[in-house]
Structures are given as structure tokens and as C-alpha cells.
Structure 1
Amino acid sequence: MNRQELKSFLDAKVEEYNQPGFIPNDPVSIPHEFTKKQDIEISGFIAAVFAWGQRKTIINKSREFLNLMGNDPHNFLINYSESDLKPFLNFKHRTFNSTDALYFLHFFRWFYEQHESLEEAFTVSLGEEASMEIRLTHFFELFFSLPDHPIRTYKHIPNPLRKSACKRINMFLRWMVRDDDKGVDFGIWKRIKPEQLICPCDLHVDRVARKLRLIKRKQTDWQTAVELTENLKRLDPQDPVKYDFALFGLGVEEKF
């Protein structure tokens, strides 16, 4: 396919998958269960962090975690007492355990006591044109800036400097930043532009993108995600990450 043929093909797939029917079977269904901005951010972040493995399990585990917060995450974080934390001692999802859970709650309480929105964790003290690599590195450093943070929890917050493709956090940022009329992504963050996003590069997206020659780099790391996004910008400079819908749909639903 030449570029125009590829664009037409992928644009059609975006239209097919970027619609409300995509929501129920995807982790994005978790933040869609909330309406308050902070609840959308918190639940979305949890769902994204848990997003490895089968989608059904990711959704169930996200709901289990949020149930422990009384399905009122922002209010819980601001007001919880020590006794409210006891149920989290038995929580586990793959390698995410109670130590990780308790630190997540500790960080979020600390952060929301000082800030209105989690967006500020990716924007405060950074210029409008800061690259996504800088934003994600800043977020990692902020997240682990509290005293006695557990080293084991590093694995759950990706960092470009550690060569991660940062799939889960890029997916979370897509949810928060992309703003269209399709009803899947939320578009509630306005300080980051859609063209600044990096495409989430999971197994399915990676495989399809390589078949379509959108990725040439052999390994899958941060530079691979950047390479993919740069090639998608040739198809749509303002909103390259919309093609995540097409690549993921082709990989998961159509086994492309």
C-alpha cells in the first residue's frame, strides 16, 4: 500500500473501532463508570496500570480495587483512615501486590491534597512543548519522590529512561487527552495536545504495525513507540494516536 491507501485503510478501521461498542470489553470501560473528573483520572490510571493479561481479568481486578475504595476513589483518597487500608493487604493482581497498592494510595492522597487534577503531574513546571519523554520521566520521578517509596513498585510505573515502551501510561494519556465526538476517549485534559501523545505499543499493535511497515526497529522499546507515532503523524499530524484503535482492532478482533 502507498501512503494514501494506508491512510484510507486505517481511517476506515478507526471509524469502525472508535465508537461506544468498543467500550464494554476494554479497560476504558472502568473510567466510564464515573462522572467526576478526579474519579475518571484515578480509576483510569488504575485500569491502565493493571492492563496486562486478558482484558476480562483487567476489568474485574480494576473493579475489585475500586470496590475497596467504596467506588468513590477521590473521596476515599482524601478521607481514608488507617483501618480503611486493611482490605488492601489481601489485594493482588499478577505482580501488583499490597505493598504497591498501599504506596499508590499514599501517593494519590499526597498529590490530591495539593492538586485538583492528576493532569498537573504531567504538566506542572514543564513547558507546553515539553516532549512526552520528558513528561513521563518527570511523572516517574514525582511518583517516587515520597520518602521510603518501595523500589519494587518501580515496575508498575513505566519510564522511557528505563527503555520501556510505556504502553500502559500512553494508553491512559490517550484516554484523558484525545477529544472527539465518538465517546470512547474522555478529552478532559487540555494542557497536553493530542499531537504530543505517543501511540501505545502493545503486542497486537506492534505486530500489526510491523506488517504495515510502520515499525522497522527490531526491539520494542520507547524508541519503537516514537518511531510508530512519527509514521502515524504522516497520516494525521494532529491526531496520530487515533490509529491505536485501528491497529489494536486489526490485531485483536481481526487477527490481522
Structure 2
Amino acid sequence: MNTSELKEFLDSKVIAYNNPKFIESDPIQIPHRFSLKEDIEIASFLTATIAWGNRKMIIKNADRMMQLLGNSPYDFIINHKESDLEAFKGFVHRTFNAEDLSYFVKSLQNIYVNHGGLEAVFEKHASENGMQTAIHEFKKTFFSINHPSRTLKHVGDPKKGSAAKRLNMMLRWLVRSDQAGVDFGIWKTISPSALSCPLDVHSGNVARKLGVLTRKQNDAKALLELDTALRTLDPKDPVKYDFALFGLGVFEGF
């Protein structure tokens, strides 16, 4: 496949998967329950944080997190007391547990009270060349208060070699605006052109089969290679191809 054929093929798959039906089986359904900007972005961040493994289990446990936050995540985060966190006991999603969730709530409170909110923290270091520095700086801010060392692993850092799949997915949800109503596009201070594809086993394997990725590991170097290829296909909206790569891998077994 030459470049124009590849673009035509992937564009057709974006159209096939970037539509409201996608929401029904995807974790993005969780933030779609909310209308308040802060609720959407907090639900997106927490849902994306546990987005690895079985998709039905991700959705089930993200729903459980929203219940624990009284289905009003922003209000809970701003106004919670230490005793409110006791309700988290027993919560677990793979290696993410109640201790991690409790810290996330405390850190999010710090971010909204002292740093202007999630969007402000990411926007501060956003660049048209990409969001890798912004993600790195976000992690520094997120863990700037006293934290359990075990929780560090739940936030990726591109400068330590991570593809930061979950944060890149959250950024796609919140920054990218589409006409299909899947991604929210509520963060207007960051350009969709700066976004990176959420690189996981599905999108990575499909990208390799299509010849747009050669590196074998799904790490920061692979993400840069994939970003470069996707930006040649659509420099303004490169992460729309996440729908194509993910859909081909998960729904078509490509």
C-alpha cells in the first residue's frame, strides 16, 4: 500500500468506527454520563487510568469508581473528608486499589484548588510538537503532595520511556473534537494536532502490519515513530486514526 492508498483505507475505517455506536462498548461511555466540564474530565482521567485489561471489567470498575464518588466526581473531590475515603476499601482493578484511588482523589483536589484544574496543568506545558513534556510535567504536579510510592506506576511518563497510553487516550477524549459525538473536545487550549495515538497491543500490532510502525516495543520511541507516520496522513487530526487502528485490531482481528 502506498501512502495515498493507506490514507484512503484508514480514513474509511475512521468513518466506520468514529460514530456513537463506538461508545456502547468503550470505556468512554463513563464520562459521557456527565455534562459538567469538571465531571467529564475527572471521569475521563479516572476511567483512562484503569483502562487496561478486559474492556467489560474496565467499564464495570470505572462505574464502581463513579458510584464511590457519589456520581458527582468534582463535588466529591472538592468537598470530601478523610472519612469519606473509607468507603473505597475493597475497591480494586488489577493493580489499582483503594489506596491508589484515595491518593488520586487527594491529588485531584490539590490540582483543582491550587493549580487551576486538569486542563490548566496540561495546557501549561502543551506544545504544537506534542504532549510528551506536558504529560511529564503533569506527573510531577500530580505527585507533588505526599504520596504512596506504589501509586507512581499508575501515571505514565514519556521521559522515562513510557508510551503513556492511558493519558494519551484521555487527552484524545478531552481535546479532540469530532462531528460524530464520541470525543468531547472540551479542552480548547490544546491543539488536536499535538495529540498522540494511545498506543496499546491492538493499535501497535495493526500499525506494524500496515507498515507504519517498525519498533517492536510499545514504548515512547514507538509512539514517536507512529506519531510521525500518522501526522503525514492528517497533520491536523492525527489521532483520529486511533479509531481505525483499534477497530481493525479489536473488531476485525486484522
Scaled to the shorter chain, the TM-score interval is over 0.9
How big is each residue's C-alpha offset from its partner over 1:138-166, in whole Å with a ceiling of 9 and x where there is no partner?
Answer: 001111111x2111111100001221111
The CA deviation at 1:130 is 6.3
How big is each residue's C-alpha offset from its partner over 1:157-203, in whole Å with a ceiling of 9 and x where there is no partner?
Answer: 00012211111110000000001111000000011111100111110
CA distance in 1, matches of 2:229, 2:169: 18
Partner residue, 1:212: 210
Partner residue, 1:138: 137
Contact 1:128 1:191 in 2 (8 A): no
Aligned with 1:241: secondary structure? Answer: helix
Partner residue, 1:253: 251
* Aligned Cα root-mean-square deviation (Å): 1.2
Contact 1:11 1:246 in 2 (8 A): yes
Partner residue, 1:203: 201
Please list, as runs of the form range in 1=range in 2, the aligned pairs for 1:156-167 lying within 5 A after superposition: 156-167=154-165
Count of equivalent residues: 254
Q: Scaled by the length of structure 1, what TM-score is found?
A: 0.96
The CA deviation at 1:82 is 2.2
The CA deviation at 1:121 is 1.4
Contact 2:201 2:218 in 1 (8 A): no
Instruction: Sort the Cα spacing of 1:235 and 1:131 in 2 relative to 1 into closer, same or farther, 3 A.
Output: closer
The CA deviation at 1:129 is 4.0
CA distance in 2, matches of 1:128, 1:54: 33
Partner residue, 2:188: 190
Contact 2:128 2:191 in 1 (8 A): no
Indicate whether 1:3 and 2:3 are aligned. yes
The CA deviation at 1:83 is 2.1
Partner residue, 2:227: 229
The CA deviation at 1:131 is 3.5
Contact 1:171 1:200 in 2 (8 A): yes
CA distance in 2, matches of 1:219, 1:250: 19
Partner residue, 2:51: 51
Contact 1:232 1:240 in 2 (8 A): yes
Return the letter of the residue paired with 1:201. L
Listed as ranges, the gaps of 5+ residues in structure 1 are none
Please list, as runs of the form range in 1=range in 2, the aligned pairs for 1:2-151 lying within 5 A after superposition: 2-124=2-124, 126=125, 128-129=127-128, 131-146=130-145, 148-151=146-149
Return the letter of the residue paired with 1:25. S
Return the letter of the residue paired with 2:102. L
How big is each residue's C-alpha offset from its partner over 1:87-138, in whole Å with a ceiling of 9 and x where there is no partner?
Answer: 11221111011211111011011111235541111123x3654641110110
Contact 1:11 1:243 in 2 (8 A): yes
How big is each residue's C-alpha offset from its partner over 1:39-90, in whole Å with a ceiling of 9 and x where there is no partner?
Answer: 0000111110010011100000001011011100001111112221111122
The CA deviation at 1:24 is 1.2
Contact 1:49 1:169 in 2 (8 A): yes
Return the letter of the residue paired with 1:142. T
Return the letter of the residue paired with 2:26. D
Return the letter of the residue paired with 1:2. N
How big is each residue's C-alpha offset from its partner over 1:234-253, in whole Å with a ceiling of 9 and x where there is no partner?
Answer: 11111111000000000000
Sequence identity, in percent? 52
